[in-house]
Amino acid sequence: EKGGWSSFMRKEVSEQPDAVANTIRGRIVDGEVHIPELESFGDDELRGIRRITVVACGTAAYAGQVAKYAIEQWARVPVEIELSHEFRYREPVIDDGTLVISISQSGETMDTLMAVKYAREQGARTISICNTQGATIPRESDAVVYTHAGPEVAVASTKAFVAQITALYLFGLHLARVRGTLPHGALVDALAELQAIPAKIEEVLGESERVAQLAHWMADTRSVLFLGRHVGFPIALEGALKLKELAYIHAEGFAAGELKHGPIALIEPGQPVFVVVPSPRGSANLHPKVVSNIQEIRARGARVIAIAEAGDAAVLPFADEVIRIPLAAPLFEPLLAVVPLQIFAMELSQAKGLDVDQPRNLAKSVTVE
């Protein structure tokens, strides 16, 4: 079943271009987003949404956190991400203007299922983003937008994550079109960016050998920090989660802007820090701020591994290692930047002789609380 790959994870990481392409397939028609599964949601209903609450756990929640930036920018609807288990044990404010979107690869995560049931009881409409046909969560939801990543066997989620972001982006663009919040040209550009992602992920996969080398050099590392900003922030969190679960190394992700509010105290000579660097072409001008964060931690002895777009020369004087990703519009960079972090965790796990597909203490789907 592994088809010649040494692990399911390695196979699934390599399948990410297809996971994105297959999730897009059939959903862009004549340059327009088209999601037939959402037909039960009339345009009037989509225009009436005042708030979106995303419920999910783990990596799926990070996909939601990435999509928040895109959906808010495109469709001008506030989006909040809730861990399913935190959501359902209080009295969350839900009304008929609230759309609840659940994200689950397996479609069986008990906490997410219960969050969806609770939301429906409170009168919310629900959409499931799910990778498993006919699973329980989609059956309990008003509509389902399937991700077509194919079966994910390795416990650590990889291709489902990029497929989840893809599905949520398509949804966000659909919502923006219906609500008239995005000029036609911007919609067309965003769809073209999305369609260009599979080939760009393929390019990032071409860097695998370098990332593997880095992981092998770092096999004795005891702690790794990850910094990111804007859409790079949830990617930093995801990079840290992957490293914890696969290589059993203490890892933490931070919003780069938080450094001075505490985390910079952790920096001592030799501390490895991955930094997801935003594009210098981004309109919010975050790039110089993150470059200056890199300078600050470097001055305190951090060993900086920058994930930066091709041609970004500003990071070169300060980073010990630079892993390049191809140019993409800023909102689409997470789909590229996450890949080296997945590979790093996988290779480090392997360098330590661990079971990449089946890390200790973890199950692929968490059907108990």
Using CB under 6 A, list all residues that contact ligand F6R: 57-60, 104-106, 109, 112, 156-157, 241, 245, 365-366
Whose CB is nearest to ligand F6R? 58
The distance of closest approach from Cβ of residue 266 to ligand F6R in the complex, given in angstroms and rounded to an integer, is 24
Other C-beta atoms within 10 Å of 298: how many?
Answer: 18
Residue 364 annotated in active site? yes
Is 56 or 178 the residue whose CB approaches ligand F6R more closely?
Answer: 56
Q: For residue 40, what are its two tokens?
A: 């039960």
Give the tokens for residue 100.
């609840």
Which among 117, 244, 352, 364 is annotated as catalytic?
Answer: 364
| Nearest residue (CB) to ligand F6R, 10 versus 324 | 10
Residue 348: HSE in the Cβ half-sphere, 13 Å Cα cutoff: 29
Minimum separation from the CB atom of position 111 to ligand F6R (A): 8
**Which is nearer to ligand F6R, 16 or 106 (by Cβ)?**
106
Least distance CB 92 / ligand F6R (angstroms): 19
Q: How far is CA 241 from CA 85, 184, 202, 245, in A?
A: 18, 37, 23, 6
Counting beta carbons within 10 angstroms of the beta carbon of residue 211, is it exposed (0 to 12), middle (13 to 18) or buried (19 or more)?
A: buried
Min dist. Cβ of residue 158 to ligand F6R (A): 8
Cβ neighbours of residue 304 under 8 Å, at least 6 residues apart?
273, 275, 294, 297, 298, 318, 319, 320, 321
Q: Which two tokens mark 315?
A: 């990071």
Nearer to ligand F6R, 23 or 279 (CB): 23
**Pairing mode, strands 223-228 and 143-146:** unpaired
Active-site residue list: 364
